[in-house]
Amino acid sequence: MPQGKTTLIEHPFDIVVFGGRGDLAKRKLIPALFHLDVENRLPPDGRIIAVSRAKLSREEYRQQMREACTDCELEKFDPGAWDKFAERLDYVALDGSDPAHYELLKQALAGREQVVRVFYLATAPDLFVPVATNLAAAGLITPVTRLVLEKPIGHDLASAHEINAAIGKALSEQQIYRIDHYLGKETVQNLMVLRFANGLFEPLWNRTHIDHIQITVAEKVGVGGRWGYYDKAGAIRDMVQNHMLQLVCLVAMEPPITLDADAVRDEKLKVLKSLMPMRGADVAQLTVRGQYRAGTMDGKAVPGYLEEPDAGRASDTETFVAIKAGVQNWRWAGVPFYLRSGKRLPSRTSEIVVQFRAPPYALYPESAGAIHPNQLVMRLQPNEGIRLLMLNKQRGPGELRLRQTALDLSFNETFGGRSPDAYERLLLDVIRGRPTLFMRVDEVEQAWRWIETILEGWDREGLTPKPYTAGTWGPSAAIALIERDGRTWHEDEE
């Protein structure tokens, strides 16, 4: 165990993971809790109870999670550390939709009513309401209970409102934690620090000095294995409505009065309310839908969306979306926000690019071809860090030449050690009762209101996805979306 670490949480807790044998639990939740335990960030009296329908013994479940943590461990797996952590793990077999089964969970939690109690719903969304209702009916909701909901929360505004209203009958809003793992990423957390703790950037963070903003969330993988879920969602519901709009909020929000959770979320809500709605035929000019076709990636042939092994019938679901958005307020009027996200793109990249305006006068006209606007690039993944692209004089005598160079802050090189997974931070915040990095109900529903203006426009205008070859940056229309404004998508040379 690392020396010199201090336990960040002193009070005991019980975390009950519904869907405890699912993909999220295996890949993220249990490994994150294991890392926290290895780093001595969990108190001794902290239990993890997995819930699933499968009939397993406690030891069988522990063995399954040991294998999962061995595969997910970034550093050398320590069997001794695992044995210590495994003592926290318990397992209860029950059907979350059956009220009669909750007596088993009640028995597992008996005598610990004063302990912080976290119910993490790593389940399909259609179980959110039944589980919350059954927990309340069984008397398992205490004043120190927190309920964590994974995305997606609803399929549209109506369904999101229905879920939120039903769960709101079982728990107070202060007890509900709607998680978006992007908000736990180091670079995302650092965005507010960069903006509000550095006098260099705050005076420049407005329409006078910023030309435009790009947000890209690109994935190399397709949707194999998740076709059934993804075909009901598409890129705009799976990525834009939650992850990307949260990034827009953090880039565009006004400084909160304090770092209190509601003060921060009030400012984010103002951004969502300021998003320019897509009216009439605007949606055809300001958005692009795409769907990947078969292609080659890393030298290997990959199938198209409709040829994936688990694909169903023909579908017009988008696997790529690009949007030119606008924030209609005093700070950002006239500054476009270009968003793009998709599957089967050339690289796995998530980044925010802030492009500043060019100097007002060309003092170096002979170097016009080398003039590039300053860009602040915040990389979320991979290689988390911040780069400031700027012009400098090339070394040497003779003719003066300019060259774009970078001030590069790599979090790994600067801070060293292992970069914690986003779920580690977010799970700690849930246990400690810190909701700042979680979405409030009005944020979720306001995001859906804006997304629905696009969805309705696509239906009204009959806009179906344009094909793009796997391994490319989406349909050519996505390039045209930004280049007809005299701008271009950022492509990092790293």
Quote the CA–CA distance of 365 and 370 in Å, as a whole number: 10
Quote the CA–CA distance of 241 and 16 in Å, as a whole number: 27
Alpha helices in 39-100 (DSSP H): 58-72, 79-86
Q: Cβ(37)–Cβ(82) under 8 Å?
A: no
Quote the CA–CA distance of 227 and 291 in Å, as a whole number: 13
Q: Cβ(217)–Cβ(239) under 8 Å?
A: yes
Cis ω before 152 (30° cut-off from 0):
yes
Q: What are phi and psi for residue 439, nearest 5 degrees?
A: -85, 135
Q: What are phi and psi for residue 372, nearest 5 degrees?
A: -130, 135
Packing angle, helices 422-432 and 30-38, rounded to 10: 80
Residues 160, 165, 167, 171, CA torsion sign:
positive
Q: Residue 49's Cα: distance from chain center in Å? A: 25
Q: Cβ(445)–Cβ(158) under 8 Å?
A: no
Considering the candidates 212, 243, 372, 490, report the single residue annotated as catalytic: 243
Q: Cβ(9)–Cβ(43) under 8 Å?
A: yes
Torsion angle in degrees (nearest 10) through CA of 359, 207, 439, 128: -90
CB-CB neighbours of 433 under 10 Å = 15
Nearest alpha carbon to residue 131 among 239, 60, 53, 229 = 53
**SS3 annotation, 257-320:** CCCCHHHHHHHHHHHHHHECCCCCCHHHHHEEEEEEECEEECCEEECCHHHCCCCCCCCCCCCE
Q: What are phi and psi for residue 299, nearest 5 degrees?
A: 80, 5
- Check if 243 is active-site: yes
DSSP 19: T
Active centre residues (catalytic) = 243
